[in-house]
Structure 1
Amino acid sequence: MILPMRALELRQLRYFLILSRELHFGKAANTAHVTQSALSQQIAKLEELAGVQLFVRDPRGVRLTAAGEVLRDGVARVLDLLYTTLRSTREAGENESFRLSLGLVEYTNLPFIPPALIRLQALYPDVNIIRHELNGAQQLDALVSGVIDVGFGVRIQTNSPKAGIASQPLLASEWSLLMRDTHRLANRAQLSIEDLAGERLIVPGRSVNAPLYDSLLAHFARVGIKPNIVYETTQSQVGITLVEQGLGVLLGAVYVFTVIPTTLLYRPVNGFDPLTVELFSRSGEQNPLVLDFIELAAGEAVRLKASQVPDTIARRD
């Protein structure tokens, strides 16, 4: 039977090859940086296209069928040749410049970006990354004008992105309060805005993200509280250090607190609008470099969400 090539996708072959090596759907999904259900769906589609069963799934585990072994050996050769050819093609373009311009607020310390950039560099060894310090609203303008290729930001405004701009949510977070484990609020599972009255607050500086800062103050005003802001920081690690040294407590998104000293903990604060980090790009983007990075960043965000749920709960208990 001849495979209907129009329906065959490269990612199906890549996922198949990973699963044929791992022989475990969970491990293969982690290696491929996708959810297990997404991996299973693509393998099922490939089996449907091939017209044969490629894997045997039973209580003893996962193993290749005879047909699966044949496809594994062939796919391995094909993908090796494809990647080698692509590499040679890039090297042949002597005047080709691999440049990726990103818009983001460095303060947010988005943990999925470094691994995505590392994986991108493996695909494009000569890639040049240029970062622009821009909040979500500014990124939309920068995409339209061509200043950046991809943006990562939080839109405070409820309006839709500009025409010609695509967006996809990557990471959702609630506001949380970082404090010493001896703080008076440390034994509380949930906090409210009212609980922050009188607290020495450390907050992201307005220069980091003016709309976000203004929204924060507006929420305090709605409940009749004037926040006691003792320090506005433009670097998340500085804020964490100040909390550790006893200056005050730090108000921020959970993803900012991915790495904190063992003497600190954070608690969710109800009453603020949740934050959603979105990926912004131009609709109809055709640049393979940009498209590859978008896929890598989205995959790393999925893996981060799956891996950090237990850690997040542990930091609250």
Structure 2
Amino acid sequence: MRAIELRQLRYFSLLAKELHFGRAAELAFITQPALSQQIARLEELVGVPLFTRDRRQVSLTPAGEALHDGVDKAFAQIEASLRLARDTGEHTSFQLTIGLVEYTNLPFVPPSLIRLQSLYPDVKIVRNEMTATQQLDALTKHQIDVGFGVPIGPLPVDGTLRSAPLLEAGWAILMRDDHRLAGLARLRIDDLAAERLIVFARQVNAPLYDAVVGHCRASGFTPNFVYETTQAQVGMTLVEQGLGVMLGAAYVFASLPARLRCVPIGGFDTLTVYRFSRADEANPLILDFLDIADEEARRAQQRMSRGG
């Protein structure tokens, strides 16, 4: 048993939850063949099959079920022990300062913060409303620890900072389910020519706002913006009350009231959410949060790909 590595048990736990080699490999940040090799090695070391595999599905064997229960309890005990060690050490309070635009409603941020709090119960989260450009400057000045943003154009080359793409999404139109366009599977930009549009305010992301206007004009019309908001929930409420339809990134509309429908629209540039941090970061709390955010973003991407 000394030959079993903790990472193999972590890979096993991910696969046991996902029951899909492709999704589990993405969450583990390894290739699918590498994951298969590690699972096969673990089964060899344990001495029994842990999964049954066929072309249609992956499932746990009775031995796999037993190991899954034990591994989850072991990881929970490890986390509890780490919390106890931190609480009895010199530092019992922690702070994480994040830069992001609240309007974007990034779906991976809340679960990431919840998981971080389970590791650091006394953590204090400080949020700063910042665009991607502002975040990069704030990181250099040590005003924030982590940033999440949608940069427009090339990222600056700076060896002191690190950036990584987390989430890709297209655009969508939010409307009431009785709207004339609600029955369509996909829209084009010119479908918006006669619509009253609710959009994010220019101050949320000026380059992105200008790009939206440019795409509309290139399609032969000037968009009729009837309301610009810095709060996504305000825009959704106005849609529900019948003021117009709302244009936004698909991830902004991850959770909707029953009467509203979200329809994808083509013609706009794909949006990529990046995370930003300092290249020489050594704070364990921040490094833990970066790892957690990466994993939760992969989960969010998978849900969006599945349409759920």
TM-score scaled by length of structure 2: 0.82
The Cα offsets for residues 47-94 of structure 1, whole Å up to 9 and x where unpaired, read as: 64897355414469544779xx99x97x88986775454323311334
| In structure 1, distance between residues paired with 2:214 and 2:150 | 17
Which of 111, 114, 124 is residue 115 of structure 1 equivalent to? 111
Candidates 88, 98, 101, aligned match of 2:94: 98
Report the equivalent of 1:315.
none
In structure 2, relative to structure 1, the CA distance for the partners of 1:235 and 1:161 (3 Å cut) is: farther
Aligned partners of 1:140 and 1:268: how far apart in 2? 31
2:276 matches 1:280: yes
User: Matched residues in 1 for 2:76 and 2:264: separation?
Assistant: 48
CA distance 1:55–1:211, shift in 2 (3 Å): farther
Structure 1: distance between partners of 2:78 and 2:256? 43
Partner-residue secondary structure (3-state), 1:89: helix
| 2:256 is aligned with 1:263 | no
Query: What is the rounded CA distance, in whole Å, between the counterparts of 1:136 and 1:153 in structure 2?
Result: 5
| Residue of structure 2 equivalent to 1:242 | 238
CA offset at residue 162 of structure 1?
A: 3.4
Provide, for residues 275-315 of structure 1, a one-character-per-residue CA deviation record: whole Å limited to 9, x for no partner: 11111111132211111111111111212222343435xxx
Shift of 1:261: 2.0
Change in CA separation of 1:2 and 1:179 when aligned onto 2, cut-off 3 Å: closer
Distance (Å, rounded) in 2 between the aligned partners of 1:142 and 1:269: 34
Q: For the residues of structure 2 that align with 1:36 and 1:293, how far apart are their CA atoms?
A: 16
Query: How far apart are the structure 1 equivalents of 2:100 and 2:276?
Result: 10
Deviates more, 1:220-229 or 1:97-106: 220-229
Q: What residue number does 1:197 align with?
A: 193
- Cα distance 1:82–1:194, how it changes in 2: closer, same or farther (>3 A)? closer
Distance 1:289 1:40 in 2: 31
- Give the alignment's Cα RMSD to 1 decimal: 3.7
Compute the displacement of 1:112 (Å): 1.2
Question: Which blocks of at least 5 consecutive residues in structure 1 are unaligned?
Answer: 313-317
Counterparts of 1:80-229 in structure 2, within 5 Å, are 82-95=78-91, 97-229=93-225
- Do the aligned partners of residues 25 and 236 (structure 1) sit closer, same or farther apart at CA in structure 2, a change above 3 Å counting? closer
CA distance in 1, matches of 2:191, 2:72: 59
Q: Give the total of aligned pairs.
A: 303
TM-score computed with the length of structure 1 as normaliser? 0.80
Query: In the superposition, relative to structure 1, how do residues 18 and 220 fare at CA in structure 2: closer, same or farther (>3 Å)?
Result: closer
How much has 1:35 moved relative to structure 2?
6.1
